[in-house]
Structure 1
Amino acid sequence: MALSEAHRDSKTARPLVYRQSIWTRATHWIWAISLFFLLLSGLQIFNAHSTLYIGKQSGFGFDNSVLSMGAVRTPQGLEGRTTILGYQFDTTGVFGVSGTSENPQARGFPAALTIPSYRDLATGRVVHFFFAWVLVATLFVWLVASLVNGHLRRDLRPTGRDLAQLPRDVADHARLRFHHTGRYNVLQKLTYCIVFFVLFPLIVLTGLTMSPGMDAAWPWLLDVFGGRQTARTIHFVTMTLLVLFFLVHIIMVFAAGPINELRSMITGWYRTDPETKGDAGS
C-alpha cells in the first residue's frame, strides 16, 4: 500500500497534460521533413549560380553582389573563395571548392549538402517546388486549425503579462533553467510568431517572386521585394534564419529534456512541474 501511495504521489507531483493537438503535431513533423528537402534542394539550385545580388539587375556589368562562392586557380591548385559584402575569405574544402585533394570540385556548397548530391538542377527544382507546395498547404491547414481550436489565441498570442516576464525568461534560458508548466513561455511565443508570421510568409512570397509565371500574374511582387535578384537574396537570408532557428530549437529540446519534449510532439502529452513557477522551456 505504501509503495502504491508513493507511486501515486509521484504522479500527482508531475502530472501529464495534453499540450499539443493532433493538428500541431502532424504539421510540425511535415514542416520538419519539408524544410529538410527544401534546404538541400535549394542549395542545389543556388549552386547553379552561387552569387547573390541586391537590385533588379545582375551580371558582369554590375557591382551589386553581396555574396559569392567561387573557385580560383593558384600555384597551389584550385582554391575556394567566398566573398561577403566585399570581404573575401579562403573557404577551400567547404565553400567554393570541395571534394578530395585529388579530385577537387568547384561548387558553392559541397555535394553532401545538396539534393541530389550530383549536379542536377532540373531534379533539384522538381524536389524544391514539390516540398514548397507541401509547406504552403500545411501552413494553411495549421492556420485554419489553430484559429478553430484556439491555439493561436490561447498558446501563441503574447500578453502584457508575458512581455513583463521577458527579462526573467531571457535570464533563465541563459542559465539553462527551464520551467515545465505545459504552457509556452514568452520567448517561445515571440519566436514562434516570428517564424510563423514573418519568416514562413517571407520565404514563400520571395520564392513566388522568383517565378516568371507568378511575376506575370502578380507583378506587384517585384515592386515589393525590389526585383527578382533582391528577392533571391532575401529568400536565402530567410532560409539561413530558419536554419538557425532549427539549431537553437534542437539545443533547447535537449536542454529542457528530450524525452518529455518528444513525447509532447508525438503523443501530445507533456509532463509538467506545477510546483515551479514559469512556462515550459523548449
Structure 2
Amino acid sequence: MEFGFPVWLRVEHFLNLVFVSFLIRSGIEILGTYPKLYRSQHTVPGTAWAQFTVQSQAKHKYYTVGGEYDDYSPRLSMPGKGMLGLGRYWHFMTVTFFVITWVAYLVLLFGTGQWRRYIPTDLGVVAQAGRDMIAYLAFTVPHAPEGLPFNAIQQLSYAGVVFVLTPLVILTGAFQSPAIANHFSRLNRAMGGRQVIRSLHFLCLVAYLVFVVIHVAMVLLHGWGHETSKMVFGHSDSPVTGGVIFAVALALLVVAHVAATRWSLRDGRAVERVHNVIVRPWSNLLYRLPARMHYDRDNVTGTDVGLKNATQNFRGSGRPPETDEYLALMANCYVDDYALEIGGYVERPMTLTVPQLRELAQGHSQTTLHHCVQGFSSIGKWRGIPVSALLELAGPLPGATDVVYVSFQNMGRDDALYEGGLYYESNPMIEALHPQTLVAFELNDEGEIAAKNGAPVRLRVETSTGFRSIKWLERIEVVNRYDIIGQGRGGYFEDVDFFDRNQLI
C-alpha cells in the first residue's frame, strides 16, 4: 500500500505537538508542589529516590505541606508561581483532548492500514535498527526500505511512542485519580502503589522529552525543509515553503503558551470555567464507580519500615486549631467534652459524643490510601462510622442535596501560610453516601486520632483528594444548596484557590 502522509496524519502530528507541550509544562507545575519521588507506596521522609527542590521538610510537629512548594518559573511550568490548582486544570483539559486525539489516531491507523508504517511485519527490522544506529553514530543517514516511510530505528521508535509510551502515560495518570485507584485498588497495588505509579508517570514525561529532543535532531539531520514539507504538504517537493510554514507554526505555539500562561495568572477563574465545561462531564462519571479500596494491616504506612508506632509516620498537613475551646478539648482528651453536631436540613438534629460514635460504629474500620492533592500519600486504618449511617439517623429532608462539614480550624488564625477563613468542605449527596465516606475517630488501633491527623474526629473521603477529608471536625450540616456558603464554590480551598469541588481526579 501507499504509506505517504495523509491529511489526517499531518493534523494529528501537529495536535500531538500542541498537547504534549502543554502536558509537559502543566505536569512540571504539578510536580513542583511536591517535588519528590519514591520507590514504594509511601512517602516516608528521607526515602525519596529523587527530588527537585532545595527546600527541606519542616521539622515542626505541625506543618503544612504547602510550605514545601517550589515556585517554578512560568517560563518552565504552566502557569508557574506554585499555582497547583491551575496547573491541574490545564493538565486535565489537555489530557481530555490528548486522549481523544490518540484514540482517533489509532482508529485511523488501523482503519486505513497505516499501522504498518509503525508495526514491523518482519523480525529482521530489529537487526536493521542496530545497523541504522551505527549509521547515525557515523553521522550518515540510513535509508528507509523500499515502500516504507521510515528506516528501521525510526519505525521502532515511533511504534514505542504510539503503542507503549502513550498508553503507559495514560494508565499511570489515570491511577493517580483517587476514585480510579479506589475502585481498582488491587491493580493499583499490582502496579506498585501510588508513589511508584507517580514515579512511572514522571519517567514517562522524561521519555517524551528525550523523544522530542532526538526527534528534532533527526529532523535536522535528515533535512529540515525535506521533513517539514512532508508534515505540511504530504510530500517533500516544497522544502523551503514547508520549512517556513512549520517554523511559523512553532512560533505560534510558543505565542499560545505565553498567552495561556498570562491569561491563567491574570484570570484564573476564567480558566476554571473553561475547565468545568471540558472536564466535569467525564470526571463526574467517576462518582458511579463503587468505593471499595481496602488494604491489609501490613500495608499501613510505617509498618514496612519497622516503626512500632505507624501513626507517627502517617503524614499530617496543617496546624491544629488554637482556640481556647479546642485547646481545652485537647487537654481533657476530648472524650468528656467533645460532641459532634449534626443538623441543618434534617428531621432529627443531634449531637454525638465520641463514645456514642464508637457505639454506633460497632467496630467498623477501613484501611485506605490517603491521596494528598500535592502528591504525598499514606495508608492508615481508620475506625469510624460511615456518613451514610449518620444521615440515616438524622433523616435528610426532601430536597437535601449536599452535606457540609465545618472544622474548628480557622486558616488565617491557625495557619499563617493561608488567608483567613473558616475551614469547611462539602459533598454532593452521592459522594456523602459512598460507603467509604467516613467520620473517623481512631487511626491505626491507637485508640484515638493524633492532633496532627485531625483529633478528635475527622472526615475521610477516600474517592477524593486529601484536603477534602476535613480534620478537627466540629459539625455536619445537611443543606439543599451549597453555593450560598462561603464564596459558593463548596469548600475553603475551592473558594480561595483554584481547586474544583469535584476532586475525583
TM-score by length of 2: 0.41
Residue 260 of structure 1 deviates from its aligned partner by: 1.1
- Aligned counterpart, 1:117: 80
Instruction: Measure, in 1, the Cα distance between the counterparts of 2:114 and 2:140.
Output: 26
Q: Which amino acid aligns with 1:64?
A: T
Deviations 1:203-262 (A, max 9, x none): 110101110021133334412321111111110011101100000000110111011111
Please point out which of 175, 199, 215 is paired with 1:233.
199
> The residue matched to 1:128 in structure 2 has which SS?
helix
CA distance in 2, matches of 1:179, 1:253: 13
Q: Corresponding residue for 2:105?
A: 142
SS in 2 for 1:71: coil
Aligned-pair CA distance for 1:72: 5.4
Equivalent residue for 1:160, pick from 116, 123, 127: 123
Match of 2:174 among 181, 201, 208: 208
- Whether the 8 Å CA contact 2:23–2:95 is kept in 1: the answer is yes
Residues in 1 aligned to 2:195 and 2:69: alpha-carbon distance in whole angstroms: 23
Instruction: Name the aligned partner's letter for residue 189 of structure 2.
Output: D
Structure 1 residue 161, shift from structure 2 partner? 3.8
- DSSP 3-state at the match of 1:113: coil
**Within-5 A mapping of 1:244-263:** 244-263=210-229
> Deviations 1:5-53 (Å, cap 9, x if unpaired)?
xxxxxxxxxxxx9721122211111111111111111111111111111
Q: Is the 8 A contact 1:53 1:230 kept in 2?
A: yes
Q: Do the aligned partners of 1:18 and 1:269 also contact (CA within 8 Å) in 2?
A: no
Equivalent residue for 1:29?
A: 14
| Structure 1 residue identity aligned to 2:164 | V
Cα–Cα, structure 1 residues 71 and 170, in superposed 2: closer, same or farther, change >3 Å?
Answer: closer
Amino acid in the other structure paired with 1:66: W
Quick one: structure 1 residues 266 and 257, their matched pair in 2 at CA, closer, same or farther if it must change by over 3 Å? same
Is 2:112 aligned against 1:127? no
Equivalent pair of 1:50/1:108 in contact (CA under 8 Å):
no
Uncovered stretches (5+) of structure 2, i.e. residues with no partner = 57-67, 238-505
- Deviations 1:104-137 (Å, cap 9, x if unpaired)? x972744421111222111100000111121111
Provide closer, same or farther for how the CA distance between residues 31 and 224 of structure 1 changes in structure 2, counting only shifts above 3 A.
Answer: farther
Distance in 2 (CA, whole Å) between partners of 1:53 and 1:168 is 38
User: Against the structure 1 CA distance between its residues 185 and 127, is the aligned structure 2 distance closer, same or farther, given a 3 Å change threshold?
Assistant: same
User: Quick one: distance in 2 between partners of 1:229 and 1:236?
Assistant: 10
Question: What's the CA shift for 1:179?
Answer: 4.8
Q: Which whole-Å CA distance do the structure 2 matches of 1:18 and 1:49 have between them? A: 45
Distance 1:50 1:269 in 2: 44
Q: Does the C-alpha gap of structure 1 residues 148 and 106 become closer, same or farther in structure 2, counting only changes over 3 Å?
A: closer
Corresponding residue SS for 2:37: strand
1:243–1:108 CA distance, 2 compared to 1 (3 A) = farther
Instruction: Name 1:188's counterpart in structure 2.
Output: 154
In structure 2, which of residues 57, 64, 70 is the aligned counterpart of residue 107 of structure 1? 70
1:151 to 114, 121, 124: 114
Residues 28, 77 of structure 2: 8 Å contact kept: yes
Conserved? CA contact 1:31–1:135, under 8 Å = yes
1:178 aligns with: 141
Q: Distance in 2 between matches of 1:45 and 1:201?
A: 20
> Alpha carbons of 1:119 and 1:72: their partners in 2 closer, same or farther (altered >3 Å)?
closer
Tell me the distance in 2 between the aligned counterparts of 1:44 and 1:163. Answer: 38
What one-letter code is carried by the residue in structure 1 that aligns with 2:86? T
- Residues 106, 123 of structure 1: CA spacing in aligned structure 2 closer, same or farther, 3 A cutoff? closer
Q: How many residues align?
A: 221
CA contact (8 A) 1:18 1:270 kept: no
Identity value in percent? 27
> Match for 2:209: what amino acid?
V
TM-score (norm 1): 0.72
Name the one with the larger helix percent: 1
CA contact 2:32–2:69 (8 Å) conserved in 1: no
Task: Answer whether contact 1:71 1:106 (CA < 8 A) is retained.
Answer: no
1:200 to partner: Cα distance: 0.7
Alpha-carbon distance, 1:64 to partner: 2.8
Distance 1:108 1:234, change over 3 A: farther
Equivalent residues in 2 for 1:4-19, closer than 5 Å: 19=4
Alpha-carbon displacement from aligned partner over 1:140-166 (angstroms, at most 9, x marks no partner) = 00001000111112x112223433423
Superposed, 1:76-87 pairs within 5 Å as none
In structure 1, how many angstroms separate the alpha carbons of the residues matched to 2:33 and 2:83?
A: 9
> 1:179/1:70 Cα in 2 relative to 1: closer, same or farther (>3 Å)?
closer
Matched, 1:224 2:193: no
- Equivalent residues of 2:72, 2:80 under 8 A apart: no
| Aligned partners of 2:29 and 2:87 also within 8 Å | yes
Indicate which of 244, 249, 265 corresponds to 2:231: 265
- Aligned pair 1:242/2:208, yes or no? yes
Conserved? CA contact 1:18–1:268, under 8 Å: no
Does the 8 Å contact 1:210/1:228 carry over to 2? yes
CA distance in 2, matches of 1:216, 1:259: 50
**Poorly superposed stretches of 4+, deviation over 4 Å:** 179-182
| Structure whose alpha-carbon radius of gyration is higher | 2
Confirm or deny: 8 A CA contact 1:209 1:221 kept in the other structure.
Answer: no
CA contact 1:209–1:215 (8 Å) conserved in 2: yes
